[in-house]
Amino acid sequence: MGLLRLYQMIDKYSTRVRKADERLRGYIETTNPALIKAFDEWASVKRNINCPAFVSLLGERFCELEKKVFDLNKRDVTFFAGAAGRISDDLIDDEEISAEEVYFLGDNKRESGNEKQLLFYRFNNKLISLLPKDFRERFSNIIRLFNDAQRDGSYLNEESSFQRIKDIKDRIGGYPLLLLYSLMNCEEDLSLDFSPNYNSQNWNLPETKGEAIFNLGVFMSRADDVYDKDFDKKQGIKSIATESYFGWEDVRRDIKYIETGLEKFYSKEIIKEIVKDCKIITGRMVLILDKVAERLRF
């Protein structure tokens, strides 16, 4: 990677994180100042505040794919979606709460629970207010698939079979990107027009746009699993990486598979940029950018 490209990535990454932090904190400060300490504690963990920033980054790319304007409303949608999704994921993983109690884009009107749970309700309800009134009805299928994947992920344990791990982890990776596409497009639910079939070894290219975007999410999830492999092994967590099904050589090979699949539906130029952004989002690159940004005081 050239030095100029690295500086551009750092600038894009740091600016987006800063804007996400300012927007989300400002919202909590205005609507529920009693939660501001809980928000600051949550946002102080870089992996947390990185999430809405990266969701925003990909959301902007999805708008470019469909030649739509990434305006302030869409930016806010990505910030609040990223924050709500990240918090619900933590709550479910830590077994603090059931998946049904933090149903993404659900009618969560409760004002009780721990502070992290209350932050989720605030962000989730704000997200709903930013969307067209009939969005949840028209996109009920992808919303259900997304939430089902999060719920099923909470059931994984050391006794889970490899096939079950692979199936659930792929859905956890793929459906969030399809939901994000819907949040940016608000016109078509791509989950209605495909069956998951990620198969780079046989070069099985996607048949539909929805499948191509789902595969991109699967790839990103698998790359993160590879990065987290040593940590997961120590924690006794099973993944496709700890089971030696997917490694760094597969990541390098599958980048071309993902690009080729997406290029069936979109121009090569924009796909190259999207893949570059996805590389930013994988754990290793995030770690590099964090360290360099701190040194340069971005």
Whether 163 maps to a domain, the answer reads: yes
Between helices 3-31 and 268-281, what is the axis angle to 10°? 70
CB-CB contact of 92 with 153 (8 Å): yes
Q: Is 105 left (phi over 0), alpha (psi -120 to 50) or beta?
A: left
Whether 209 maps to a domain, the answer reads: yes
**Residue 14 has what DSSP assignment?**
H
Same domain, 126 and 139: no
Q: How far is CA 101 from CA 59, 113, 159, in A?
A: 26, 10, 26
Between helices 3-31 and 115-130, what is the axis angle to 10°? 100
Same domain, 236 and 140: yes
**CA-to-CA distance for 29 and 36, rounded, in angstroms?**
6
Whether 248 maps to a domain, the answer reads: yes
Same domain, 68 and 164: no
Whether 143 maps to a domain, the answer reads: yes
Q: What is the pLDDT of residues 7-45, one digit of tens each?
A: 555 566 788 899 999 999 999 999 999 999 999 999 999
Domain boundary among 82, 99, 131: 131
Structural domain harbouring 233: 134-266
Same domain, 154 and 166: yes
Radius of gyration, CA atoms only, the chain: 18
pTM of the model as a whole: 0.87
Same domain, 259 and 221: yes
Same domain, 152 and 101: no
**CA-to-CA distance for 21 and 3, rounded, in angstroms?**
27
Whether 285 maps to a domain, the answer reads: no
Domain boundary among 96, 131, 166: 131
Structural domain count, the chain: 2
Same domain, 251 and 170: yes
Give the angle 171-176-181 at the CA atoms, nearest 5°.
130
Whether 273 maps to a domain, the answer reads: no
Whether 191 maps to a domain, the answer reads: yes
Nearest of 35, 145, 16 to residue 87 by alpha carbon: 35
Predicted confidence pLDDT, tens digits, the chain (298 residues): 445 555 555 566 788 899 999 999 999 999 999 999 999 999 999 889 989 998 998 899 899 889 999 999 999 999 999 999 999 988 887 766 788 888 999 987 666 678 999 999 999 999 999 999 999 999 999 999 999 999 888 887 778 888 888 888 899 999 999 999 999 998 889 998 777 878 777 788 999 999 999 999 998 888 878 777 777 777 777 777 777 777 777 877 888 888 899 999 998 888 887 777 666 555 554 444 444 444 444 3
Whether 275 maps to a domain, the answer reads: no
Listed in sequence order, the residues at least 6 apart from 151 whose beta carbon sits closer than 8 Å to its beta carbon are 92, 99, 100
Domain boundary among 104, 131, 158: 131
Helix (H) / strand (E) element for 162: namely helix 162-185
Same domain, 230 and 261: yes
**CA-to-CA distance for 64 and 296, rounded, in angstroms?**
30
